[in-house]
Amino acid sequence: MKSLGQQIVVDYHKCNPEILNDVAAVKRAMREAALKSGATIVQEAFHLFNPYGVSGVIVIAESHLAIHTWPEFGYAAVDLFTCGDEVDPQIAFDHLKAALEATDFTAMEMKRGILNSAGLTFQSHKPYAGAALVSA
Protein backbone atom coordinates (compact mmCIF):
# COMPACT_ATOMS: atom_id res chain seq x y z
CA MET A 1 0.00 0.00 0.00
CA LYS A 2 1.62 3.25 -1.18
CA SER A 3 1.12 6.38 0.92
CA LEU A 4 2.22 10.00 0.81
CA GLY A 5 3.49 9.94 4.37
CA GLN A 6 4.05 8.14 7.64
CA GLN A 7 3.09 9.49 11.03
CA ILE A 8 4.13 8.21 14.43
CA VAL A 9 2.22 9.71 17.36
CA VAL A 10 4.07 8.97 20.59
CA ASP A 11 3.50 9.37 24.30
CA TYR A 12 6.88 9.06 26.04
CA HIS A 13 6.46 8.24 29.75
CA LYS A 14 8.87 8.22 32.70
CA CYS A 15 11.20 10.71 31.01
CA ASN A 16 13.88 12.73 32.77
CA PRO A 17 11.98 15.82 34.03
CA GLU A 18 15.09 18.02 33.92
CA ILE A 19 15.52 17.32 30.21
CA LEU A 20 11.81 17.90 29.56
CA ASN A 21 12.05 21.37 31.12
CA ASP A 22 15.28 22.39 29.35
CA VAL A 23 14.34 24.16 26.11
CA ALA A 24 17.91 23.89 24.75
CA ALA A 25 18.05 20.14 25.45
CA VAL A 26 14.63 19.51 23.88
CA LYS A 27 15.54 21.60 20.83
CA ARG A 28 18.86 19.77 20.44
CA ALA A 29 17.16 16.36 20.72
CA MET A 30 14.52 17.31 18.14
CA ARG A 31 17.10 18.73 15.70
CA GLU A 32 19.25 15.61 16.05
CA ALA A 33 16.20 13.39 15.54
CA ALA A 34 15.32 15.23 12.34
CA LEU A 35 18.84 15.12 10.93
CA LYS A 36 19.50 11.48 11.89
CA SER A 37 16.23 10.44 10.22
CA GLY A 38 17.37 12.03 6.96
CA ALA A 39 15.09 15.09 7.06
CA THR A 40 15.82 18.53 5.64
CA ILE A 41 15.26 21.18 8.33
CA VAL A 42 13.44 24.25 7.03
CA GLN A 43 12.48 26.12 10.20
CA GLU A 44 12.08 25.61 13.94
CA ALA A 45 10.32 27.22 16.89
CA PHE A 46 10.56 26.33 20.59
CA HIS A 47 9.06 27.88 23.71
CA LEU A 48 9.65 27.37 27.45
CA PHE A 49 6.49 27.76 29.53
CA ASN A 50 6.14 29.13 33.05
CA PRO A 51 6.29 27.40 35.48
CA TYR A 52 7.49 24.50 33.30
CA GLY A 53 7.13 22.66 30.01
CA VAL A 54 8.45 23.03 26.48
CA SER A 55 6.64 23.09 23.15
CA GLY A 56 8.44 22.98 19.86
CA VAL A 57 8.27 22.14 16.21
CA ILE A 58 10.85 21.37 13.58
CA VAL A 59 9.42 22.07 10.14
CA ILE A 60 11.10 19.79 7.64
CA ALA A 61 10.81 19.75 3.87
CA GLU A 62 9.20 16.35 4.35
CA SER A 63 6.59 17.61 6.94
CA HIS A 64 7.24 18.14 10.70
CA LEU A 65 8.36 16.90 14.10
CA ALA A 66 6.51 18.40 17.09
CA ILE A 67 6.76 18.02 20.87
CA HIS A 68 5.05 19.21 24.04
CA THR A 69 6.42 18.29 27.46
CA TRP A 70 4.98 17.99 30.96
CA PRO A 71 8.08 17.71 33.19
CA GLU A 72 5.94 17.45 36.32
CA PHE A 73 4.58 14.15 34.96
CA GLY A 74 7.74 12.95 33.18
CA TYR A 75 5.68 12.96 29.98
CA ALA A 76 6.22 14.14 26.41
CA ALA A 77 3.70 14.10 23.55
CA VAL A 78 5.43 13.83 20.17
CA ASP A 79 4.27 13.84 16.55
CA LEU A 80 6.67 12.60 13.86
CA PHE A 81 5.16 13.14 10.40
CA THR A 82 7.32 12.48 7.35
CA CYS A 83 6.48 12.30 3.66
CA GLY A 84 8.16 10.26 0.97
CA ASP A 85 10.63 7.42 1.31
CA GLU A 86 13.80 9.39 2.09
CA VAL A 87 13.11 10.06 5.79
CA ASP A 88 12.71 7.34 8.42
CA PRO A 89 10.51 8.45 11.35
CA GLN A 90 11.51 5.30 13.29
CA ILE A 91 15.03 6.69 13.60
CA ALA A 92 13.63 9.95 15.02
CA PHE A 93 11.45 7.93 17.42
CA ASP A 94 14.40 5.89 18.69
CA HIS A 95 16.62 8.94 19.07
CA LEU A 96 14.02 10.88 21.06
CA LYS A 97 13.29 7.91 23.33
CA ALA A 98 16.97 7.81 24.27
CA ALA A 99 17.46 11.58 24.43
CA LEU A 100 14.45 12.12 26.72
CA GLU A 101 15.48 9.08 28.78
CA ALA A 102 11.99 7.62 28.43
CA THR A 103 11.58 4.22 30.05
CA ASP A 104 8.05 3.67 28.72
CA PHE A 105 6.00 4.77 25.73
CA THR A 106 2.85 4.23 23.74
CA ALA A 107 2.89 4.82 20.00
CA MET A 108 0.57 4.70 17.02
CA GLU A 109 1.89 4.55 13.46
CA MET A 110 -0.26 5.60 10.54
CA LYS A 111 0.08 5.74 6.78
CA ARG A 112 -1.21 9.11 5.55
CA GLY A 113 -2.55 9.93 2.09
CA ILE A 114 -3.10 6.40 0.81
CA LEU A 115 -2.69 6.34 -2.96
CA ASN A 116 -5.37 4.06 -4.38
CA SER A 117 -5.07 5.09 -8.00
CA ALA A 118 -2.56 3.28 -10.19
CA GLY A 119 0.03 5.45 -11.85
CA LEU A 120 0.18 8.16 -9.18
CA THR A 121 3.68 8.99 -8.03
CA PHE A 122 5.01 10.97 -5.09
CA GLN A 123 6.91 14.18 -5.76
CA SER A 124 9.42 14.82 -2.97
CA HIS A 125 9.06 18.28 -1.45
CA LYS A 126 12.15 20.40 -1.06
CA PRO A 127 12.43 24.01 0.09
CA TYR A 128 11.76 26.74 -2.43
CA ALA A 129 15.06 27.75 -4.05
CA GLY A 130 14.66 31.38 -2.93
CA ALA A 131 14.04 30.48 0.73
CA ALA A 132 16.84 30.29 3.27
CA LEU A 133 17.33 26.94 5.03
CA VAL A 134 18.05 26.73 8.71
CA SER A 135 21.64 25.55 9.05
CA ALA A 136 22.18 22.05 10.37
Q: Give CB contacts under 8 A, 24+ apart, made by 18-22.
A: 18/71, 19/99, 19/100, 19/101, 20/53, 20/54, 20/69, 20/70, 20/71, 20/74, 20/75, 20/76, 20/100, 21/48, 21/52, 21/53, 21/54, 21/69, 21/71, 22/54
Give the model confidence (pLDDT) of 28-58 as tens digits: 999 999 999 999 999 999 999 999 999 999 9
| Helices 89-99 and 23-36: angle between axes, nearest 10 degrees | 150
**Whether the predicted pLDDT of 103 surpasses 80:** yes
Mean pLDDT, the chain, whole residue set: 89
Q: What percent of the chain shows pLDDT beyond 70?
A: 83
111: confidence class by pLDDT, cuts 50, 70, 90:
confident
From first CA to last CA, the distance across the chain in angstroms is: 33
Catalytic residue set: 63, 68, 83
**Domain ranges in the chain?**
3-114
42-46, 83-87, 131-135: range with lowest mean pLDDT: 131-135
1: confidence class by pLDDT, cuts 50, 70, 90:
low
Please state the pTM of the whole predicted model: 0.84
Pick the CATH number of 3-114 from 3.40.50.1220, 3.60.90.10, 1.10.1270.20, 3.40.50.720: 3.60.90.10
